[in-house]
Amino acid sequence: MPLVLAADVQHEIPKYRVVTRFKPAEKPGMPGPYAGQVVAVHSEKSIDAGSEKVDLPTVREMMSRGMRSLTGDRDPRDSWARFFSASDTVGIKVNCSGAPGIMSTPEVVGEIVRNLGTVGVKPENVYIYERFQNQVDTAHYDRYVPGGVHIWTAETGRWGGGNYDPATYVEVNFFGEEDTRSNLGRIVSERLTKIINVPNLKDHGASGVTGCLKNIAYGSFSNVARSHSGVKTNTYSFIGTLAAVEPLRSRTVLQVMDGLKGVWHGGPFSSNRRFRFYPKQIMFGTDPVAIDRMELDIITAKRNAEHAAPFEDISPAHLKSGGAGNDDPQIHRYIREPGHIEYAATTFGLGVYDITKIKVTRIEI
């Protein structure tokens, strides 16, 4: 059987129509003031791989060291004050698609909220947000944050209607679907002034990995799963297109990649604990592309160590549509498109993709 590579697949870019009344900020949040920079903080003490218990004091120190290293400040309050003030209404875009197996760790989210409080952001001006309520409910963020913090979802569950902005959307026809619009969540267009993006470190059956770009894009718009059907996916171009829509691009000012634990196969869900692993790190930056580029290396290295099928190998033996691939690391459900990261960089200027041009600061605690 001849080897078939994903790189040989021609990317036919669909025709997108972006509708928004918002103009870009003078200095958009993505890639932000620290383009091409990533701070990676690692601590063996951060999480116990057996029990998955998180050590909060260690997470607090990781957050402090990471933010101070990113901005060059001695006091973490000064670091946070570079991004947020008491006048802001701040959204924290969590990822709960794999909850309760994997999600934006509640202790990490709680520590972000605590730091916002140190620069005067009141709990009632903080919104933890995600698309689906039935996923968020299993995370129990309310137990880790002060009273008054809002937990907002656009939909009760998949296909459950939603609270989206009818005037801000991306229109595109992928497979002749009836509904060709993906609308931005009202919370982004109508309420938030700043957004912190808190993705997980995990693979994804269609996009290769799901990181900063995919979390902020697919997690802030409606009707996005239509981008992949059969073995074909349009994540290559759709993710960056959504992430670049205003006001999402301008208001997303900080990226905090939660890599305390990760998923190396079967993502974005985590029903099979066999595919979880524990990088025990948090990455900080304003550049979603640079962080996702680092994530791609981590996931690829783990998959190689586990002898999983390479992303690029789409020979018939490794490419089969349907759910079986979730439990078999030799099977891809779709033609994976980790190239969406580079596309977002080169087409929309959302960050730095060239690994030789990314400055990585590594901190061990």
CATH code of the domain covering residue 38: 3.40.50.11440
User: Is residue 77 in some structural domain?
Assistant: yes
User: Is residue 181 in some structural domain?
Assistant: yes
User: Is residue 223 in some structural domain?
Assistant: yes
Q: How far is Cα of residue 270 from the mean position of the Cα atoms in its chain? A: 16
For 345, phi then psi, to 5°, come to: -75, -50
**Span 224-283, pLDDT tens digits:** 999 998 899 999 999 999 999 999 999 999 999 999 999 999 999 888 899 999 999 999
User: Is residue 1 in some structural domain?
Assistant: no
Range of the domain at 228: 6-364
Q: H or E segment at 342? A: helix 340-348
Q: Which of 194, 337, 203 is nearest to 264 (CA)?
A: 203
Query: From edge to edge, which strands make up the β-sheet containing 17-19?
Result: 17-19, 164-171, 181-185
If one counts the domains in the chain, the total is 1
User: Is residue 30 in some structural domain?
Assistant: yes
Q: What is the pTM of this model?
A: 0.95
pLDDT tens digit at each of 365 positions of the chain: 455 566 656 678 999 999 999 999 999 999 999 999 999 999 999 999 999 999 999 999 999 999 999 999 999 999 999 999 999 999 999 999 999 999 999 999 999 999 999 999 999 999 999 999 999 999 999 999 999 999 999 998 665 557 999 999 999 999 999 999 999 999 999 999 999 999 999 999 999 999 999 999 999 999 999 999 889 999 999 999 999 999 999 999 999 999 999 999 999 988 889 999 999 999 999 999 999 999 999 999 999 999 999 999 888 889 988 766 678 999 999 999 999 999 999 999 999 999 999 999 999 99
User: Is residue 250 in some structural domain?
Assistant: yes
What lies within 8 Å, CB to CB, of 23 at 6+ separation is 246
User: Is residue 302 in some structural domain?
Assistant: yes
User: Is residue 69 in some structural domain?
Assistant: yes
